[in-house]
Amino acid sequence: MRTNKLRVDIITLFPEVLAPYFQESILRRAQERGSLKVVLHNLREYGEGKHRKVDERPYGGGAGMVLMALPILRAVRDISRAVRVEKKQRKIVILSAKGTQFTQQTAVRWARTLRHLILISGRYEGIDERVKIALRATEISLGPYVLTDGDVAAMAVVSSV
């Protein structure tokens, strides 16, 4: 399916959980061939203060905690600066239960057109809505159910694209 080299950057709170998945089988071989590069980023490295805080109460109110906008925006900024591709060849994706359902058709289209994919793995009650607006990010879901975080969805997206 892959017609060009794809770099995937995944922003997550738990890169150590994802790392083994990308070091095995077909995805490992794709990286060895140079058709895929997966880079994991720990969101805490972009966190606020001494304790690298990345979560807070929702900006507009509501229950639970959301991932803060600023650490995510910093991470995407740094990644985008490091990876030079045309804007139309990069997609920023928020993995969320309320997103548009990810389909095989979408996977095929992305495989043919993208050279850079930034996946933002949600956690807690989600991600500060200002992130989606500021980045003009696409919000996708694996299906009509809720996962504990976006890491499983990130693995599925990379595997299918």
Using the 8-state DSSP alphabet, how is residue 87 labeled?
A: G
Going by C-alpha positions, the residue among 53, 60, 55 that lies closest to residue 130 is 60
| Domain contains 111 | yes
Residues comprising the chain, all counted: 161
CA 108 → CA 11, 27, 47, distances in Å? 23, 17, 34
Give the residue numbers spanning the domain of 17.
6-160
Residue 124: per-residue pLDDT: 83
Please give the tally of structural domains in the chain: 1
pLDDT of residue 81: 96
Cα–Cα–Cα angle for 73, 78, 82, rounded to 5 degrees:
145
Stated as kind and residue range, the H or E segment containing 155 is: helix 151-160
| Integer Cα distance of 108 and 47 in angstroms | 34
State the CATH number of the domain containing residue 153: 3.40.1280.10
Name which of 107, 127, 115 is nearest 43 in CA terms.
127
Q: How far apart are CA 141 and CA 84, in angstroms?
A: 27
In a domain, residue 1? The reply is no
Given pLDDT bands bounded at 50, 70 and 90, which one contains residue 56?
A: confident
CA distance 102 to 139: 9
| pLDDT (tens digit per residue) in 10-27 | 999 999 999 999 998 899
> Do the domain assignments include residue 112?
yes
Q: Is residue 106 part of a domain?
A: yes
Query: Nearest-CA neighbor of 150 among 23, 17, 58, 48?
Result: 17
Q: Tell me the pLDDT tens digit for each residue of 95-132.
A: 999 899 999 999 999 999 999 999 999 888 889 999 99
* Beta strands 66-67; 36-42: pairing state: unpaired
Let me know if residue 69 belongs to a domain: yes
Is residue 3 pLDDT above 90, yes or no?
no
pTM for this model (two decimals): 0.93
Is residue 89 in a domain? yes
Answer whether residue 31 shows pLDDT above 70: yes
Rounded CA-CA distance 36/111 in Å is 11
The pLDDT score that the predictor gives to residue 15 is 97
- Asked if the structure places residue 25 within a domain, the reply is yes
| 123: helix, strand or coil | coil
Q: Which residue has the higher pLDDT, 7 or 144?
A: 7
User: For residue 94, what pLDDT band results from cuts at 50, 70 and 90?
Assistant: very high
